[in-house]
Amino acid sequence: MIKIDDKKGIFLLYTKHSLMILQVIDGFVGMPYYGEKIRLAETEYLCRTNVRPFTPDKLSGEEISFQNTFPHAYPFYGCGNFRETAFRAEQENGTDTCCLRYIGCSTFKEKPKIPHLPQSFTKNCNTETLILYLHDEQAGVLAEISYTLFQDSDVIAQSVKIQNQGEYPVMLRRALSSCMYLEGDLELITLNGTWARERYIQREPVTYGVKSIGSINGTSSHVHNPFIAAVRPETTETQGEAWGMAFVYSGNFLACVEKDSQDKTQLMMGIHPETFCWELDSGKSFYSPEVLLNYSSRGLGRFSRNYHDFIRNHIIRSKYQYQERPVLVNSWEACYFDFDSEKLLCLADTALACGMDMLVIDDGWFGHREDDTSSLGDWVVNEEKIPEGMEWLGEQIQERNLKLGLWFEPEMISPDSDLFRKHPDWAVRIPDRGMTLGRNQCVLDLTRPEIRSYIFRSMADIIHEADVAYIKWDMNRQITEASTPSLPVHRQKEFFHRYMLGVYEIQERLLKTFPDLMIENCAGGGGRFDCGMLYYSPQIWCSDNTDACARAEIQLGTSLCYPPSCMGTHVSACPNHIIGRNTDFMTRAHVALAGTFGYELNLMRLKQAEIQQIQEQLKLYHAYSHLTREGSFYRLLQNAYHIAWQFVNPEHTETLVTLIQLRNKAFQPQMHLKLQGLIPDSLYKLDGKCYTGGQLMKIGLPVPPLWGDGVSSLFYLTIEMTEG
């Protein structure tokens, strides 16, 4: 609900449990409060800074001090604010000073569309949108700051539209999407790592100065995820305040936190300005990607579930979001590049015998690809491996009542490819400078429409020919030598954003052409795990590291923002192909059950007993996958020895608890695992014994001791129905 007091210049944005206050003071919009829903009386003082003793406040005519302490809702550069700013635009006279003053507002019942970008949407839910208009008459710039509230959520979607209303072009040097201000002691939570070790949780105090994370390699990256949270030092999973920002974007980003001299903390997020500049012609507009703002007064658990529900209901569009996903086996760790049609059909037969639904042919099915040195860009069947053709193979798969999936790396081109020999200029490069190879490949220039059309046609032809039901869209290298002949010299820094728009355009065309197609996004594993990709695909490959113990930590970190139902999770071979560890076969399945679930191993090498284990695992998947897709997720425990989590259905009548023992220790005391999300006075049944919900949450579930490292237990409890 949005309430506006025009006389006082107050805007109150109420979600289910939170309140954001925006206030106009002397022509500038500030954010004096964002937190728990409260009742207000006096509001005049909220944005008054009263800075002493250096200078008086703006009421006494001291503009600089006012600007440098005012909690700007969209901070700009050049008029006395010396903190990090969200907006900076170079004008015709060469200066980049701008002063954005409030000139009005609008409210809408519908959420305005953001052209060409992934974005939140409404579905069976009422929304309200507030747009604040901030204008610099001299620069001719109008900034429209948009806040959308959703009736069923505590998440607020924010974005910015910049219009050039002047006579001359302006160069946007900085156009971030969101800013919030907080007061008091805070700690910063980020999700960091590297390839095969993505999204590990880091929590640290917020101190004076600027702390930032980001990416400038062309993707949201393995190293930092486009998500941050600020929490009180006392905040835990179940209590305390937490605020968050999640970026609906998959390219270069910046997230920064600054604690200033007045003990106010500013959080900002948007496209990374180091690799961004945008020429905005007279009469044109620029749209920033959306940021999802989140607040919880009941700990990180509620905070995460706010994001989970919002992403499932308002970001993921796929019809598969709440459907049981097909269980697939991927050929990569089964065969790598060493396969032919006979081996693939044997793999399909074994998958069918196990009870699986889909065979996914990974890298190596196209061109003359025998290793990773050739053929990217040549999306035609490798006749040495599949001489009968892809249409024939698709028919063979369907005759076995299986579906066919294919791996693509559409954004790349191999120097050893027919496409490169025909169009060497299609690779991203700087003229008169050599190209840097990564994984023996170059990047296609997706800023150019003819290249995007080629990629779409190539993929669409093979999807149609073989009746492909699923594609894995991969992207295995960073972007270097960023340049394009499609733009003049002074606009080369538009490359990265235009490239990302090109990726989105191709995926959107595929989904419109093949509405039943399932896309699983991937970028060397988890290098593009973000809300932008989830707009086009209901799941993302979580990490190339499929070791169960490592994955448990990766998936738990990922769950801080993203719902488990979107995490691509597979049972893989042991010793694990990334880190060489052996873990129990059922433990690998228990970890994979907390995601999309599939297999990444050579089924043809399994013993009959192992095939029977897979059949048992599939029974577990079919019995419990509805909890992963629709249930609430709770992080119960994480230390050096154990990780535990829990799913609870929307009615709180059934729950699935997973305990992973990373490593054992001698003489462990009896563990009582405290559960969450249950009805306190109801009885829950496990193995013939009944416990009250309150008992399970306050005293805990008695857990039998586990023997060994990398082992696990699964507990399924249902509410005990009593007559009357």
Q: Which residues are catalytic?
A: 474, 544
Distance from CA of residue 553 to its chain's centroid?
17
Q: Which residues contact 441 (CB under 8 A, 6 or more apart)?
A: 372, 376, 409, 412, 413, 414, 415, 476, 477
Kindly tell me the burial class for residue 22, based on how many C-beta atoms sit within 10 Å of its own C-beta (0-12, 13-18, 19 or more).
buried
For residues 510 and 110, give the distance between their C-alpha atoms in angstroms, rounded to a whole number. 27
Check if the beta carbon of residue 680 is closer than 8 Å to that of residue 694. Answer: yes
Closest to 245 in 3D by CA, of 182, 307, 309:
307
Q: Are 564 and 595 in contact (CB under 8 A)?
A: yes
Using DSSP, state whether 34 is helix, strand or coil.
strand
Query: Is 315:531 a contact under the CB 8 Å cutoff?
Result: yes
> Which of 389, 382, 379 is CA-nearest to residue 471?
379
Q: HSE on the CB side for 263, CA within 13 Å? A: 5
CA dist 280 and 684 (Å) reads 61
CA 582 centroid distance within chain: 30
Alpha carbons 698 and 716: distance in angstroms, whole number = 18
Beta bridge partners of 18: 36
- Residue 539 zone, left/alpha/beta (φ > 0; ψ -120 to 50; rest): beta
The strand order across the sheet containing 18-25 reads 2-5, 10-14, 18-25, 28-36
- Each residue of 481-506: b (16+ CB within 10 Å) or e? ebbbeebeeeeebbbbbbbbbbbbbb
Of the candidates 380, 389, 378, 387, the one whose C-alpha atom is nearest the C-alpha of residue 412 is 378
CB 474 within 8 A of CB 481: no
User: Is residue 160 within 8 Å of residue 177, measured between CB atoms?
Assistant: yes
Alpha helices by DSSP H, 11-107: 63-69
How far, CA to CA in Å, does 676 sit from each of 50, 93, 154, 561, 652?
45, 60, 20, 18, 10
DSSP H or E segment with residue 200: strand 197-205
E-state strands within 400-473: 403-408, 412-413, 442-443, 470-473
Question: 45 is written with which tokens?
Answer: 């003082």
Q: Which residues make Cβ contacts (< 8 Å) with residue 593, sequence separation at least 6?
A: 569, 620, 621, 624, 625, 628, 658, 714
Rounded CA separation 274/252 (Å): 9
For the beta carbon of residue 26, count every other beta carbon within 10 angstroms: 15
Kindly list the distances between the CA atom of residue 324 and the CA atoms of 319, 519, 601, 629, in Å, as whole numbers in the listed order. Answer: 10, 15, 22, 8
Structure token pair of residue 713: 């237990």
Q: How far apart are CA 405 and CA 402, in angstroms?
A: 10
